[in-house]
Amino acid sequence: MSELNLILLGPPGAGKGTQAERLQGDFRMPHISTGDMLRAQVAAETELGQEAQRYMTAGELVPDEVIIGMIIARIAEDDARDGFLLDGFPRNTEQADALAAALEKLDRRLSAVLLIEVPDEEVVRRLAGRRVCVKNPSHIYHVEFDPPKRDGVCDQDGARLIQRDDDQEETIRRRLEVYHAQTAPLIAYYDSDGVLRRFDGLRSADEVHDRIRATLATLRLEETF
């Protein structure tokens, strides 16, 4: 497999960020998060960034063609020639069609779409239980899985712990509704293309990582035959 071009797919709270970080370290490929990429383009005042800023300033969604333009520009950079890891895009089948067309023009293709499956109730359990330090947001706890020594108090600096607005159960369930309505159809889309690979997100992060690595190793081995 000359290139390793991957998409991470799954609901919020599935552990995509953790796996993206590990895969980036494993394969030295850029982790392309559309949110981070959009902010970087705007900050750099590129032509695409300025176009995106006009929509954002008007309170409108940035059109797919602008996002695709940013992605194509990003994967054309030197560090992405041997592969990339897309996270947060595509979000629906229309975006997937646009991505496929853009990759075809570059004579590139997807190697695999890595789906991390987690039931809705587990997503709610994971996200609604998170607590964040008001002084240092990188200090994160979980009321069930990783509680602080003192309830509501950060172990590291004694500051108050809070539940972020986007970790409220009502917000999480709205995000899940959007995921099932818009993004989940990508499962059948990529399955029909033969590139979908499924992973049990209820397993530990180490187990998920090991299974993803084994799957990618198998894909590379199959290509040699």
Catalytic member of 74, 130, 131, 197: 130
105 assigned to active site = no
In contact, 113 and 6? CB cutoff 8 Å: yes
Asked if 198 is an active-site residue, the reply is no
The catalytic residue among 22, 175, 203, 213 is: 175
Is 16 a catalytic site residue? yes
Question: Is it true that the peptide bond before 90 is cis, omega within 30 degrees of 0?
Answer: yes
Rounded Cα distance between 43 and 36, Å, is: 11
The verdict on whether 164 is a catalytic residue reads: yes
Rg from Cα positions in the chain: 19
Catalytic residue (one of 39, 54, 109, 164):
164
Check if 220 is active-site: no
Active site residues: 16, 91, 130, 164, 175
